[in-house]
Structure 1
């Protein structure tokens, strides 16, 4: 049995705020009516960010940050222009989008996704639309950053089956496709034995 898997990675971009094609809100925007609300996690918290990363990415084989130390998480979250926006459904975190401001007005959607129990409820399109809009206006919150000229993201065939289509529906265009062999990564859930 092979210890590798063929993985296709798509890199996508938007080059103008007008490229964004927003999704309809997942539910009524009034949290008191049971709707989804999206809030920025303004206090950098390695513990909370690791929880989101491990819980959202568990069944998509997100493993690159799992061995990070507390200090590595803190250094990542403390960079000017790094933002974590969390979707909350009735007080429970449903998913998140992490923005990474880079040089020359580039903003990468570093991570985006939902916890498994919240998928298939139209929350993903709403959260992604909201996060893209925040990528475009990021310099308003970080005056030391150059105004956004490009928002980009990459996704791969290991991610959820609707990831690529969601990005394209929101107005992203593919600018690069790469296929290669990668070592199989364990899919074990947010803690050993979860799946």
Structure 2
């Protein structure tokens, strides 16, 4: 347990508040159509280079780094699992979204990664993708659909998940290496997160 009050975060680290949310029964979906000229596409056993590109395109501004440091073998073990399902939104040769559902825990589905690229924000693509996530998650034999978000994500993320039908159930503080310091990410990323270099 952390004591009340302020706690120093070491230079070169980032601290985030992580909020865990869950859905115990299917939420109503809005039935929003796919944004004009975009197509929902299931990506079976995605090539590793494709996955890394879309993961970066969707998550780099929010400092998504957890998958970027994985070896080919470790990444393939996750995303090539028969219990992991991945979708994107495509227009021609361009992909601009990542929806990853993880069913590896019996009776549950984790919304492991979810997001759209900056050019689709505000287009309705996020709501369409969430409707797809809810529909696909509850099409399986589950009793719990869960997700977590943190203060590195878009400030709209927590409210978006709640409006979609998820309920917050707990919070944690996570401290990790700042990827702009430790992993060579561009220092201009995530201007909403102070860069404190040792």
Q: TM-score range by the shorter chain?
A: 0.7 to 0.9
Pair 1:103–1:2, CA change in 2 (3 A): closer
Alignment counterpart, residue 22 of structure 1, candidates 13, 27, 30: 30
Structure 2: unaligned runs, 5 residues or longer: 1-9, 190-198
2:155 matches 1:153 = no
Q: What SS does structure 2 have at the residue aligned with 1:35?
A: coil
TM-superposed deviation, 1:14: 0.6
User: What corresponds to 2:17 in structure 1?
Assistant: 8
The count of residues paired between Structure 1 and Structure 2 equals 178
Structure 1: unaligned runs, 5 residues or longer: 28-33, 140-146
Residues 107, 151 of structure 1: 8 Å contact kept:
yes
Q: Deviations over 1:130-173 (max 9, x none)?
A: 11211111x3xxxxxxx111110000010112111111111111
Give the 4+ runs in structure 1 shifted more than 6 A: none
TM-superposed deviation, 1:117: 2.2
Partners of 1:14 and 1:22 in 2: how far apart? 16
Give the TM-score, by structure 1 length. 0.80
2:193 matches 1:185 = no
2:157 matches 1:163 = yes
2:127 matches 1:125 = yes
RMSD: 2.5
Pair 1:75–1:5, CA change in 2 (3 A): closer
